[in-house]
Chains A and B, each alone.
Chain A
Amino acid sequence: MDKIATGGIAKDETATDEIILQTRDLSVQFGGLKAVNRVNLTVTRGDLLGLIGPNGAGKTTIFNLITGSLVPTEGEIIFRGHQIGGKRPDVIARMGISRTFQNIRLFPQMSVLENVAIGLHAAPKYTVLEALFRLPRAVRSDREVNRKAMEHLERVGLAEYHDAKAGSLPYGLQRKLEIARAMATSPQLLLLDEPAAGMNNEECQSFIAFLRQLHRETGLSIVLIEHHMNVVMDLCPRIYVLNLGEVLAEGDPREIQRNPAVIRAYLGERRRTARAGDRA
């Protein structure tokens, strides 16, 4: 992964202005319900984009559409110049989009190391024949994968747990592991679905630092769904607000916090800058 130095994360300071992901009039309909309605999003390379909105606004649904778990009923999703709407999830993943989940989806009985390794060898690096006969290429590849997986673990500070069963880790570390696993796929775009869910203030602060450093070191484009307002406002120079499946507003944290429609729909009566985000 390239280490692009993006010291300040404001939009106009990123290395390139290349649009990495764009949705045009993206919609999905379940029976009579339009869960996502003509959503237009743009993610620029190196962005750390926030996606917020009340529960049921369609945020995770948009993630599901982007990653191929759902097929759009209308509209387009364009990733690095390719139409990806309706493609198979594993194909999209191999094209460079990876994600974490609202409800943690680790492989609980596999070790921490093995979980991350999946990210590296989801598309196996040798043939079945070479696997069956344990040919040198397979042995070397496995060794290499393990080495790289350890590096990923070291980067997120989980190296000492490499042998533990993933399901036995405490909650906060499981979330970190999910991120490490997603990063192991060498994505161009990382979608994080409520990575700070269930964390208290202190944990949120260290998570903010963690994510900021990760973003700085790797230059990954990240889209973040979060309910903890302090996390989003602190980290994301640009934020989309969703409500009832539609984009309500877009802007930097200050603009969002001042936007009356947003306040009405989401932040409730409190007109102060959001602090210690409550789950809606």
Chain B
Amino acid sequence: MLPYFARRLAQAAVIVAFVAAISFALIHLAPGDPFSAVMDNPNVSESVRQTLRAQYGLDKPLPEQFARYVGSLARGDLGWSFSHDRPVLDVLATALPNTLLLMGVALVGSFSLGILVALIQVARRGSATDHALSGVTLLLFSMPEFWFAILALLAFTYWLPIFPVGGSVDAVMHDYMGLGARIGDRLRHLTLPALTLTVLAAGGVARYQRAALLEVLPADYIRTARLKGLTEREILRRHALRNALLPTISLIGLSFPALLTGAFFIEKIFAWPGMGLAVVSAISSRDYPLVVGGVIIGSIMVTLGSLIADVLYAWADPRIRAH
């Protein structure tokens, strides 16, 4: 178990190193340099630009620049966000907890909901319920995240106004509330975005889990359980689900990119002050360091997510745990 963990950790470190190289390439393939904005200003003379470049090491050969870049990344320096006029890491660090909260709730919610739907479908396999639910999960799976979020916003804040329109707290009243009311206010604001992301992600989970369950049903131990006289319900819950859940653990790791992408759109549409909103807002102000910082942090999140899922998998699978 421990050597496996160490190997997997080393793998993740290599991936992050490559991600750093890719982001460096992105920055250098882009036209112009960080002083392009300064260049537009006719009052800035050529010599000033050259001095700025020299100060930031942009006149050095590429390998040296890359070494410096990796060095500053390792120190947690992601550059300067000029739209916020703060370090990029600062901007993203303040926003990250909100994104993690949204993704965490949606992760737990979508897997619970997806597995539940799959169990209902498999218990009534071939029935009209099964087909109808398959249709719904396929629809959700095919749904562009941003469009679904727009529909949710329209439906539950305008047509049927049961949720606040956006943000993570009430902009005016929150500061005047007591502790209980504050928590309630946060929950009220979290519900719709989290629910939207949950339902979106649940479609894929349900389809995956249904297939996994149907795959184990012809197994010998299921037939044995049936011969023992167990009810279909018990067979599904105690025998089929336990074995069909194993591949689902690796699905957790695989679902991180989609969850993160979904969170980006949902944060924008519900004005949820997370990393996605920060990065997406940086697009219009062309705050390039913030966008690239978001790419790096997002990739690290995905890498860590799949690392955790793999370790969980190894821990849950007795065949791997024994080694």
Whether chain B is bound by chain A comes out as no
Which A positions have Cβ atoms within 8 angstroms of B? none
Residue numbers of B with Cβ under 8 A of A are: none
